[in-house]
Amino acid sequence: MAIKVIDDKFFFLSNKRVSYVMEVREGHLLHVHFGKKITCEDVSGCFNFYPLSFSCPENSIESDWFNLESIKAECPTFGSGDFRQPMVKIKGNNGEKINRFIFKSWEIIAKPVYKAMPYVRGGETLVVSLFDEVQSLEIKQYYTLFDDCDALLRHNQIINHSNKSIELSRFFSFNMDFDGSDFHVVSLYGKPSCEAQISCNKLGRGVTNLESNCGISSHKQNPFVALSKTDYNEHAGEVYGVNLVYSGSFKLSIELCNLNTVRLSGGINDNDFSWKLMPGDSFLSPEAVIVYSPSGLNGMSAEFSKLYRQRLLPNRANQKVAPIVINSWEAAFFDFDENKLKSIIDSASGSGIDTFVLDDGWFGKRNRDNCSLGDWHCNTNKIKCGLKGIKDYCTQKGLKFGLWVEPEMISEDSDLFRAHPDYYVHCGGYKPSESRHQYILDLVRDDVFNYLKEIFYQLIKTCEVDYIKWDMNRYITENYSSALASNRQGEFNHRYTLRLYELIEYLTSAFPDVIFEGCCGGGGRVDAGMLYYFSQIWASDATCANERAKIMYGWSLCYPLCALSGHVSKSPNLQNNRAIDFNTRADIAMLGAFGYELDLNALTKEECDQIPKQCELLKKVYPILQNGNFYRLLSPFASDYFSVMAMDAKKERGYLWFYQRLVDYGKTPVRLKLKGLDENKTYHLDYFDIMLSGSTLMNVGLAVPVFYEDFKSLLCKIEEVNLQK
Ligand code: GLA
């Protein structure tokens, strides 16, 4: 990546395709361009791009041509004539509410490695320092762009150089101003079992906030947004995507201003945030990943996916095919004993499934979801041989052993609660809000944090666990910690998130060979912060293939599907009673990290015979999801069809998924225009047993006959003809 700085005034970050350009003017760091690559010579023309101040001259405090309200700012603050949303708000020690951060210096460094929070790994970074001389505060803005990816990484750091304390009331990760007002906003919203629903609206006047106040990223709104020019679609048009590498409460704010410009900013949610910064202290924002795509939403997703697979996910995720699991949850829920578990293990042994995951219900006296969280010792009434016995049985049967845990939680009916009734998050005399009969542990307290470190270290070590499913089944309420002074309670949410990261960092580093899967009442914490530590996340509790296809389609906007897990579950489905055939359920589960979550003993012989074949197929499909290119072809949000495909980088092999919700005799066959093929190659499509050129498949399309059956899919191998044996 090339970073060029001209006359201490123009900053260029460029790779072969895109440029991010800034300029210092009147001491302010201004945004000039993020989009198609431009050259340094082009910069002389940039001056003309600024709207002049005639629209509201009385607000200009700088000069008669320069107006903060009409510029594109990199670090907008409050109270100096820019009346749009500020990126930073600070309460000074003398009651000041304003700041003026003026350009001071720059340097190019290797991207710092911070222990406290997850950041995309590596890269050469431009650091621009801005100074508020009145209050002796410095903001360092960090910018990283990679050669092979069109994503700009941004985060900020503030340092208090004064001898007085200040208080941050907003410290976002980025600000970007856009010319023009004609934008669409694409985002992901949802609820448990209905995550990653795609919302697409025309941007309206005023401020639109996409946010979570849940203490975690949440099902409600994902920390992702895309702004696209009106003439966009999946494969064409300019799109800017932003994703926060953060798992706590966040805000993404979009403001369509009166001067017909758009401001996009975001970071830690400031609704319940303040941070006291003592003399000499510094504070870091989480990272924002900002993607530019000239080729529609699909182009944007490809950049996020590439970046996350190469530089965010823990290495182990890239090294192997994700484990193929049999999970006990929908197979038995809480209703099992040692024999039942062993029968599940027996049924999976030798089938191609490689890991048995013991889900909820193995600890304390837990037979329902109303007790025992915190009592992380095996219920030997249910499992007489203990966890080690189950591990040994798995080993004997050729399987690895995984365990469900929910470390951040405590049940009122637990030994832990009886011993430490003050360990949970609560606030004074207010009755705590229960959710799923459980409370959150106050990770901000050192004693709670140390207890968790020790108990989970010992659990993983003594039971020789190969796989941990780390669940989190409620949002945070009564956001308060007895470990914080009264004037620091606004720090609670972020400190909780930092402590969570510290705990996960500790355990994942202590057990580098253990696979960690994230989970949060399904997909309530699918975010780039978690993907830094966890090589996979359970995408949703919706295990019906029909719902799951939509959810995976939604997640694919921003996250690589190889890092999201899905399982074949019972039919009729336990949540919605919908019957879907075994192969269709497997096809949809194969969109990510794959497994089964049903009683294999209850399957028909034909279904059982399918399992080894499905596991073999997964081993071919998964590496392509992991290393290849992914394309969305038909949206289940817009039609009764779902279609996506993945091709390897050499354009030799890939897979095409097609799923039809309902039979409609009025419909003609769907013609799918495939993507990512080589026009000059000929491909064989095994499902149809036909050979067609890449050019035909991409430009004319493939006619897919409609099925005469509801809820039916196909998964078709696409292979270059001369590679076939
Ligand atoms: C959550 C998870 C499920 C399962 C249950 C167990 O809902 O998303 O997969 O682990 O908890 O209680």
Average of per-residue pLDDT across 688-713: 95
From the CA of 369, give the closest atom in ligand 1: 12
- Token pair for 150: 């069109």
Average of per-residue pLDDT across 600-616: 97
Asked if the model's pLDDT at residue 349 lies above 90, the reply is yes
Query: Ligand 1 pocket test: which of 357, 360, 373 has the largest number of ligand atoms within 8 Å of its C-beta?
Result: 360
673 CA distance to ligand 1 middle (Å): 38
Query: Ligand 1 pocket test: which of 336, 359, 570 has the largest number of ligand atoms within 8 Å of its C-beta?
Result: 359
- At residue 169's C-alpha, the angle toward residues 166 and 175, to 5°, is 115
- Annotate 367-383 with three-state secondary structure: CCCCCCCCCCCECCCCC
- Ligand 1 residue neighbourhood (C-beta within 6 Å): 329, 359-360, 369, 404, 471, 473, 519, 521-522, 538, 541
Residue nearest to atom 12 of ligand 1 (CA): 360
Residue nearest to atom 11 of ligand 1 (CA): 521
522 CA distance to ligand 1 middle (Å): 7
Split at pLDDT 50, 70, 90, the class of 46 is low
Residue nearest to atom 2 of ligand 1 (CA): 521
Q: Among 201, 186, 205, which residue's Cα sits nearest to residue 262?
A: 205
Split at pLDDT 50, 70, 90, the class of 248 is very high
Q: For the chain, what is the mean pLDDT?
A: 95
- At residue 300's C-alpha, the angle toward residues 298 and 303, to 5°, is 110
Q: What local confidence, expressed as pLDDT, does residue 101 receive?
A: 97
Distance between CA atoms of residues 649 and 627, nearest Å: 7
Split at pLDDT 50, 70, 90, the class of 53 is very low
Higher-pLDDT residue of 62 and 662 is 662
680 CA distance to ligand 1 middle (Å): 48
Average of per-residue pLDDT across 325-334: 98
Q: What local confidence, expressed as pLDDT, does residue 66 receive?
A: 67
- Worst-scoring range by mean pLDDT, 133-142, 354-363, 526-535, 699-708? 699-708
- Token pair for 311: 């530089």
Distance between CA atoms of residues 533 and 518, nearest Å: 9
Residue nearest to atom 7 of ligand 1 (CA): 521
Q: What local confidence, expressed as pLDDT, does residue 664 receive?
A: 86
Q: What local confidence, expressed as pLDDT, does residue 696 receive?
A: 98
C-alpha distance from residue 453 to each of 460, 470, 484, 514 (Å): 11, 14, 21, 16
By CB neighbour count within 10 A (0-12 exposed, 13-18 middle, 19+ buried), where does 205 fall? Answer: exposed
> Does 179 qualify as catalytic in the annotation?
no
Asked if the model's pLDDT at residue 62 lies above 80, the reply is no
Q: What local confidence, expressed as pLDDT, does residue 304 receive?
A: 98
Asked if the model's pLDDT at residue 491 lies above 80, the reply is yes
312 CA distance to ligand 1 middle (Å): 25
Query: Ligand 1 pocket test: which of 193, 329, 536, 575 has the largest number of ligand atoms within 8 Å of its C-beta?
Result: 329
Distance between CA atoms of residues 550 and 195, nearest Å: 9
Q: What local confidence, expressed as pLDDT, does residue 725 receive?
A: 57
Which entry of 360, 471, 527, 587 is annotated as an active-site residue?
A: 471
12 CA distance to ligand 1 middle (Å): 47
Chain segment 165-195, per-residue pLDDT in tens: 999 999 999 999 999 999 999 999 999 999 9
C-alpha distance from residue 522 to each of 208, 504, 517, 721 (Å): 27, 19, 11, 41
Asked if the model's pLDDT at residue 70 lies above 80, the reply is yes
**Looking at this protein, which amino acid is placed at residue 610?**
Q
Average of per-residue pLDDT across 439-457: 98
Q: What local confidence, expressed as pLDDT, does residue 48 receive?
A: 42
Chain segment 366-381, per-residue pLDDT in tens: 999 999 999 999 999 9
- Token pair for 365: 């006296």
- At residue 452's C-alpha, the angle toward residues 446 and 454, to 5°, is 100
49 CA distance to ligand 1 middle (Å): 53
569 CA distance to ligand 1 middle (Å): 14
406 CA distance to ligand 1 middle (Å): 9
- Worst-scoring range by mean pLDDT, 102-106, 111-115, 186-190, 442-446? 111-115
**Contacts for 45 with CB less than 8 Å, ≥ 6 apart:** none
Split at pLDDT 50, 70, 90, the class of 64 is low
Query: Ligand 1 pocket test: which of 193, 194, 519, 543 has the largest number of ligand atoms within 8 Å of its C-beta?
Result: 519
Query: Ligand 1 pocket test: which of 194, 366, 406, 471 has the largest number of ligand atoms within 8 Å of its C-beta?
Result: 471
DSSP secondary structure string, 157-197? Answer: EEEE-SSS-EEEEEE-SEEEEEE-S-EEEEEEEEETTEEEE
Asked if the model's pLDDT at residue 724 lies above 90, the reply is no
> Does 7 qualify as catalytic in the annotation?
no
Chain segment 264-317, per-residue pLDDT in tens: 999 999 999 999 999 999 999 999 999 999 999 999 999 999 999 999 999 765
Which entry of 541, 581, 609, 648 is annotated as an active-site residue?
A: 541
331 CA distance to ligand 1 middle (Å): 12
Q: What local confidence, expressed as pLDDT, does residue 68 receive?
A: 84
Chain segment 136-171, per-residue pLDDT in tens: 999 999 999 999 999 999 999 999 999 999 999 999
119 CA distance to ligand 1 middle (Å): 28
Asked if the model's pLDDT at residue 425 lies above 50, the reply is yes
Split at pLDDT 50, 70, 90, the class of 690 is very high
From the CA of 404, give the closest atom in ligand 1: 10
Distance between CA atoms of residues 256 and 505, nearest Å: 39
From the CA of 541, give the closest atom in ligand 1: 8
Asked whether the beta carbons of 520 and 195 are under 8 A apart, the reply is no
Q: What local confidence, expressed as pLDDT, does residue 288 receive?
A: 98
- Worst-scoring range by mean pLDDT, 33-47, 218-232, 504-518, 571-585? 33-47
Token pair 């003398």: residue: 94
